[in-house]
Amino acid sequence: MTTATTVKRPATDRPARAPRGAGPPGDRGAWFLVLPALLPILVLSVGPLLYGIGLSLTDAQSGRTEPTRWVGALNFSDLLHDTLFWDSFRIGLLWAVGVTVPQFLLALGLALLLNQNLRFRWLARALAIVPWAMPEVVVGIMWRLVYHPDAGVLNQTLADLGLGDGRDWLTGLATALPAVIVVGVWAGMPQTTVALLAGLQNTPRELHEAAAMDGAGAWRRFRTVTWPAIRPVALAVTALNFIWNFNSFALVYVLTNGGPGGRTRLPMLFAYEEAFRYGQFGYAAAMGCVMVAVISVLLALYLVGRLKGADEQ
Amino acid sequence: MRTSKPARAGQYLALLAYLVFLAFPFLWLVSTAFKPPRELASLHPTWIPKDPTLDNFRQAFDEQPLLRAAGNSLLVAVSAAVIAVVIATPMAYVMARHRSFLSRAATGWVVVSQAFPFVLVIIPLFLILKNLHLINALPGLIMVYVVWALPFALWMLVGYVRAVPREMEEAAAVDGAGRLRILVSVTAPLLTPGIVATGLFAFVTAWNEFFFALVLMKSPERQTLPVILTHFLGAEGVADLGPLAAAAFLATLPSLLIFSVIQRRITGGLLAGAVK
């Protein structure tokens, strides 16, 4: 494609290259190195993305005999009037905020804790691997066992504490969304914690000590020393977490499959059903476009944050 | 800095609360996996099975084609990991060493692809693979996983390449070594630990993946482990808890083992990518 012509020599920060063929490969060599990864990316990632945008402007359906027609913005205007879509969109935002915010706050608290010289913090580190490494499907199954109305540990514990007579958490209209949000927080917290902890460990200790000598209290020290140091990491992690949560599928698919009565039907579940249960490819693609648009805004914020972070370094 | 005694106590209490929150669902899964049906149906479930049994594991293998699914998962994950690393390493090298338009575009794509809503990509992929007769075929899934693993693999690898001092390559160049020679005999050996960690991470990603496998693998003979696991949940969500827990526990072990080995390296990669 046209990008072929745009490969340039390395930028001018290192002029006068040494002997011919030495050092990092120049333009032609670079092509051979880049092509094996670039081709699959273009064919299976960038291509489908553009194809998907194109599909959103058609009435494509699965298993239909008549040819697919161009329908312009029809899918989008249909989406605007689709209350089920708006419900799932609202639930998706609720879920993404509901997971990302506690996730961040808990992870920050924990990272500050693990940055202290505490015994057993190795145990926390070791345990943090569990939610992180588990397949999402298993996380869902595991929490279904925890929430199980009869054989679950949650109701059992509540009963032992004399609190209520047990509920069916995942099928209750009021409890389903909070119940899946707890799982979302559990699943993503370790990753956030570890990232924040790594940020904390780059904070110069002397600054802390100097601030403490000046009589700054814990909160002041946090605000003036710790927070500025970890802000770029915090921003990046939060933005990515939000986007990932907004896009999530497997966890809720396994926990509730969108139920009860659509109370946990995240946008991805809605789009999946439209596309692969009802065969409405064009409509589902339009929905994907809307999600891309929302995420692009967030991504722009994240990128601005990254650039700022880079400036400060 | 000194911390007062009550503050210390509070810190340990908070740590304990966190450990409990983190551990209890997993311990419950393990406990359920070893319980006989009688104890599972008991009105007072216990943490430690009084009469631990391996029957659930046997039954899990009887109920669903777990071995075949695990074989599929293994094949797909190993292939995807190897291919991803083999094609990502040279590209990561160029991205790390050159500031060309291409490497900037690639970096941009890596960031943006983290945010893809898969639904917009999956429908075209489904149609493309269908035309290539690769629906329900493991090679199709492998291709998708390779591309899916690439962004993070590139991110990690770029970090590793940057950690290799340029001077070493330049010294070899002065000694008259050609560019390929330098890559193979100077840079690559230094990158090996990073390449292995990246490959293992790509393996875990593919081993755990669910959405693409659910859409692209329709016949039970081709389904991967996460998809087969959902079959245990039954049509109405009425599950046979013991075998379900046993199968879920088994499916997690490979990821847990690998992750405990590479966790530190991933953190570095994640952070480098997120803030640099």
Last residue of a domain, one of B53, B71, B89: B53
Q: What is d(CA A86, CA A181) in angstroms, rounded to the nearest whole number? A: 19
Q: Tell me, what's the pLDDT at A165?
A: 67
The SS3 assignment for A70 reads strand
| For range A133-142, the mean pLDDT | 94
Name the residue among B19, B113, B227 with its Cβ closest to that of A123: B19
Question: Nearest chain A Cα to B264, which residue?
Answer: A194
Question: Is A250 in a helix, a strand, or coil?
Answer: helix
Question: E strands along A42-100, which residues?
Answer: none
Q: In this complex, is the C-beta atom of B112 within 8 Å of any C-beta atom belonging to chain A?
A: yes
- A94: pLDDT strictly greater than 50: yes
Which chain A positions have a beta carbon within 8 Å of B267's beta carbon? 194-195, 198
Q: Once rounded to an integer, what is the mean pLDDT over residues B173-202? A: 86
**Range from A129-143, A175-189, B96-110, B244-258 carrying the lowest mean pLDDT:** B96-110
Range of the domain at B214: 56-275
Residue A99, number of CB atoms within 10 A of its CB: 27
Q: By the CB < 8 Å criterion, does B192 face chain A?
A: no
- Residue B167 to residue B156: CA distance in whole angstroms: 21
Which tokens hold the place of A238? Answer: 């939060």
B133 sits in the region (left: phi over 0; alpha: psi -120 to 50; else beta) called: left
A209 touches chain B (CB under 8 A): yes
pLDDT at A1: 36
Asked whether residue B100 falls in the same domain as residue B201, the answer is yes
Which B-chain residues 53-82 have CB contacts (< 8 A) with chain A?
none
Task: Give A237's contacts in chain B (Cβ within 8 Å).
Answer: 274
H helix or E strand, kind and range, residue A140: helix A136-147
Please name which of A288, A294, A235, A270 lies closest in space to residue A86, comparing C-alpha atoms. A270
| Residue ending a domain, choose from B11, B38, B53 | B53
Q: Which of B115, B118, B252 sits opposite A134 (nearest CB)?
A: B252
Tokens 């991470």 belong to B201
pTM of the model: 0.87
Contacts of B94 in chain A (CB under 8 A): 24-25, 30, 33-34
Which secondary structure element, helix H or strand E, spans residue A1, and what is its range? none
Q: Based on the domain organization, do B37 and B74 belong to the same domain? A: no
Residue B78 and residue B21 share a domain:
no
Mutant choice from B24, B120, B161, B168 vs A, greatest count of A C-beta within 10 A: B120
Overall average pLDDT of the B35-56 stretch: 81
Chain A residues close to B77, C-beta within 8 Å = none
| Mean pLDDT for all residues in chain A | 83
Mean pLDDT computed over A149-170: 81
Q: Is the pLDDT of residue A118 over 90?
A: no
pLDDT value, residue A22 = 38
Q: How far apart are CA B34 and CA B51, in angstroms?
A: 8
Mean pLDDT (chain B, rounded): 86
Structure token pair of residue A84: 């089920």
Least confident of A68-72, A203-207, A221-225, B137-141: A203-207
Domain CATH for B100: 1.10.3720.10
Residue that has been written with the tokens 């992870």 in this structure? A107
* B245 & B162 share domain: yes
Percent of chain B whose pLDDT exceeds 90 = 41
Q: Based on the domain organization, do B91 and B213 belong to the same domain?
A: yes
Structure confidence at residue B16 (pLDDT): 92
**Given this model, what pLDDT does residue A163 score?**
77
Indicate the pLDDT class of residue A64, thresholds 50, 70 and 90. Answer: confident
| Residue B124 and residue B21 share a domain | no
d(CA A244, CA A56) in angstroms, rounded, equals 22
Residue A58 pairs in a beta bridge with A70
Q: Where residue B72 falls among pLDDT bands split at 50, 70, 90? A: very high
Total length of chain B: 276
Looking at the complex, does the CB of residue A203 fall below 8 Å from at least one CB of chain B?
Answer: no
Q: Touching check for B250 and chain A: CB below 8 Å?
A: no
Closest CA to A142 of B248, B191, B232: B248
Same domain, B31 and B78: no
Residues A13-26: what's their mean pLDDT? 43
Q: Which of A234-238, B83-87, B88-92, B260-264 has the highest mean pLDDT?
A: B83-87
Q: B106-110, B139-143, B145-149, B199-203: which has the minimum mean pLDDT?
A: B106-110
- pLDDT of res. B212: 94
Distance CA B87, CA A38 (A): 9
Task: Give yes or no: residues B40 and B88 share one domain.
Answer: no
**8-state DSSP, B221:** G
Among residues B205, B121, B119, the alpha carbon closest in space to that of B155 is found at: B205
Indicate whether B106 and B30 sit together in one domain: no
B236: pLDDT confidence band, cut at 50, 70 and 90? low
pLDDT band at A182 (very low <50, low <70, confident <90, very high): very high
In terms of Cα–Cα distance, which of B276, B115, B107, B141 is closest to B222? B141
Please report the beta strands in chain A, taking only residues with DSSP state E, as ranges in sequence order: none
pLDDT of residue A16: 43
The pLDDT of A170-193, averaged and rounded, is 92
Overall domain count for chain B: 2
Which tokens in the block code for residue B42?
A: 């008991």
Same domain assignment for residues B25 and B118: no
Q: pLDDT digit string (tens) for A22-36?
A: 344 455 667 788 888
Residues B139 and B40 in one domain: no
Taking residues A113-128, report their average pLDDT. Answer: 84
Q: Determine whether the interchain pair B179/A24 forms a contact, defined as Cβ–Cβ distance below 8 Å.
A: yes
Mean pLDDT of the region B244-271? 82
At residue A76, does pLDDT exceed 60? yes
Mean pLDDT of A55-84: 87
Q: At what angle are helices A176-201 and A136-147 packed, to 10 degrees?
A: 130
Alpha carbon distance A14, A22 (integer Å): 13
B131 and B241 together in one domain: yes
| Residue A160: per-residue pLDDT | 80
Residue B239 CA to its chain's centroid (Å): 26
Assign A306 a pLDDT band (cuts: 50, 70, 90): low
Dihedrals phi, psi of A112, to nearest 5 degrees? -60, -40
A279 HSE (CA, 13 A, CB side): 7
Which range has the worst mean pLDDT, A94-98, A275-279, B155-159?
B155-159
Q: What are the tens digits of pLDDT across the range A273-291? A: 999 999 999 999 999 999 9
- Predicted confidence at residue A14, as pLDDT, reads 44
CB B176, CB A23: distance < 8 Å: no
Dihedral sign from CA coordinates of A218, A219, A222, A224: negative
- pLDDT > 80? residue A133: yes
Contact B87 A123 (CB under 8 A): no
